[in-house]
Amino acid sequence: MKHYTYFRSSAAYRVRIALNLKGIAPEQISIHLTREGGKQHSPEYRAVNPQRRVPSLVLDSGEILMQSPAIIEYLDEIHPKPAFLPTDPIARAKVRAFAAVIGCDIHPLDNLAPLQYLKRVLKQEQPAIDAWYHHWIIEGFTALETMIRPGPYCFGDSVTLADIYLVPQMYNARRLKVPLDAFPKLIAADGELQKLPAFDKARPENQPDAE
Per-residue burial over 92-103, b if 16 or more Cβ lie within 10 Å, else e, is bebbbebbebbb
Q: In the prediction, which pLDDT does 28 show?
A: 95
CATH code, 59: 3.40.30.10
74 and 110 share one domain = no
Q: In the prediction, which pLDDT does 164 show?
A: 98
Please report whether residue 204 resides in a domain.
no
- The confidence band for 96, taking pLDDT boundaries of 50, 70 and 90, is very high
In this prediction, what percent of the chain has a pLDDT beyond 90? 96
How far is the C-alpha of 162 from the C-alpha of 160, rounded, in Å?
5
Domain boundary among 82, 97, 123: 82
60 and 113 share one domain = no
42 and 125 share one domain = no
Q: What is the mean pLDDT of residues 130-154?
A: 97
**Structural domain boundaries, residue 56:** 2-82
128 and 60 share one domain = no
Q: In the prediction, which pLDDT does 111 show?
A: 87
Single pTM value for the model: 0.95
Q: Confirm if 163 and 193 have CB atoms less than 8 A apart.
A: yes
138 and 99 share one domain = yes
- Which of 35, 58, 34 has the alpha carbon at shortest distance from 48? 58
Q: In the prediction, which pLDDT does 103 show?
A: 97
Q: In the prediction, which pLDDT does 151 show?
A: 92
- The confidence band for 211, taking pLDDT boundaries of 50, 70 and 90, is confident
- The confidence band for 88, taking pLDDT boundaries of 50, 70 and 90, is very high
137 and 185 share one domain = yes
Classify burial at 165, counting beta carbons within 10 Å of its beta carbon; exposed 0-12, middle 13-18, buried 19 or more. buried
Please report whether residue 179 resides in a domain.
yes
Number of folded domains in the chain?
A: 2
Q: In the prediction, which pLDDT does 37 show?
A: 87
Please report whether residue 165 resides in a domain.
yes
Q: In the prediction, which pLDDT does 4 show?
A: 97
Q: In the prediction, which pLDDT does 159 show?
A: 98
96 and 188 share one domain = yes
95 and 78 share one domain = no
CATH code, 146: 1.20.1050.10
Q: Three-state DSSP class for 9?
A: coil
**Average pLDDT value over all residues in the chain:** 96
H helix and E strand count, the chain: 10, 4
> pLDDT by residue (tens digit) across 172-203?
999 999 999 999 999 999 999 999 999 999 99
> pLDDT by residue (tens digit) across 30-83?
999 988 889 999 999 999 999 999 999 999 999 999 999 999 999 999 999 999
100 and 67 share one domain = no
Q: What is the mean pLDDT of residues 79-93?
A: 97
Sorted by sequence, the CB contacts under 8 Å of residue 146 that are 6+ apart come out as none
